[in-house]
Amino acid sequence: MIDDLLIKPTHGNIIRFAPPLVITEEQINDCCEIIEKTITEFKKK
């Protein structure tokens, strides 16, 4: 499965999100799940 989420690293430990101007609560929840999964996988390494 490929997670489709585009984010941009900025300064230090800040991650910039650029969601569309119109976004549903379900889409926000999907983004949060992808971020949580990514952080969990990163911590395992």
**CA 30, 35, 39, 42 torsion: positive or negative?**
positive
Number of folded domains that form the chain? 1
**Where residue 1 falls among pLDDT bands split at 50, 70, 90?**
very low
Look at residue 1 and tell me if it is in a domain. Answer: no
Look at residue 35 and tell me if it is in a domain. Answer: yes
Q: Which pTM does this prediction carry? A: 0.65
Look at residue 2 and tell me if it is in a domain. Answer: no
List Cβ<8 Å contacts ≥24 apart for 38-43.
38/3
pLDDT digits (tens, 9 = 90+) for 2-24: 567 777 778 888 877 777 789 89
Look at residue 39 and tell me if it is in a domain. Answer: yes
Q: Structural domain of residue 20, as residue ranges?
A: 7-44
pLDDT at 38 over 90: no
Look at residue 33 and tell me if it is in a domain. Answer: yes
